[in-house]
Amino acid sequence: MKRADFLKFSCRNVTGGKVSGEAVLTNEAINFYLVDPDSGKIIEEGHNLEGESITDKIIVFPSDKGSSVVQLDGLFLAAEKGNKPKAFVVKELSTVLVSNSIIMEIPLVCDVEGQFYEVIQKGDWVEIEADELMIKQKNK
């Protein structure tokens, strides 16, 4: 029997869309104002993603931090330079993150099956099918 190419996990759709890309993971909240818009790299000192690019990545993180104005400004400036993320997978929703995802047209899902967080690794290829309430992770 052939093993499936993807592991599948159910999720809750917050903002719809279908995207695929490389996963970037952190266990720390992200303030998108602390992303360099020219490079798409996290510039927050001491953050475990400091120096890493989130451009065109699917970010798996617990939550966001910061006010709606600075968050939106950070995402907007990154998008203007072609450096915004492809999608968000979060554990805890905030009204700021939801509204900014809608405005910036970034797919956002939450309530992902617990096993997802046990198997996902940095650099994994992930497909989000928000409207179908599913995340797929490519088997290695």
The residues assigned a catalytic role are 67
Three-state SS at 24:
strand
Give dist(CA 57, CA 81) in Å, integer. Answer: 15
Q: By CB neighbour count within 10 A (0-12 exposed, 13-18 middle, 19+ buried), where does 114 fall?
A: exposed
Two tokens at 42? 């996290």
